[in-house]
Copies of this chain bind each other. A is one copy, B any other.
Amino acid sequence: MTIAEVSEKYDLTQDTLRYYERIGLIPHVNRNKSGIRDYTEEDCRWVEFIKCMRNAGLPIEALIEYVTLFKQGAETIGARKELLTEQRKQLIQRMVDMQKTLERLNYKIESYEQSVVKKEKELKRAEE
């Protein structure tokens, strides 16, 4: 797959894809004889995985470490599990915070609805 296709498919710019590779956030992608990237199926799975994790707010640094561990092979399975477990913990914490904020927003929006209705009634009364 060309970089243009991967860019399209996962909605990441070519610059971002190159950047992710540069910093080791996805493993090195092979080039063809003229030096152009040719993404394999596995490369694509990495891109998709990283995109998903980034969307949820996992920091790049943690993901780079994960990829680095992955490249080191089966010895690092324990470390990888720990890393993901820690990130999951933080993710859950963020979700809890967001849930609280969501409830608060719901309440505030409802209150505003009341105000708007009240204001409309006032206007109606004024018209009569």
Contacts and interface: CB of A to CB of B under 8 A. Distances in A.
Interface of A: 52-53, 55-58, 74, 77-78, 80-81, 84-85, 87-88, 91-92, 94-95, 97-102, 104-106, 108-109, 112-113, 115-116, 119
What is the interface of chain A mostly: helix, strand, loop, or mixed?
helix
Q: How many copies does the complex hold?
A: 2
Contacts of A112: 77-78, 80-81, 84
A106 B94 contact: no
A79 B29 CA distance: 48
Nearest to A57: B98
Nearest to A81: B112
Contacts of A52: 97, 100-101, 104
Contacts of A98: 56-57, 91, 94-95, 98
Contact of A87 (B80, B105, B115): B105
A91 B74 contact: no
A92 to B, nearest CB: 7
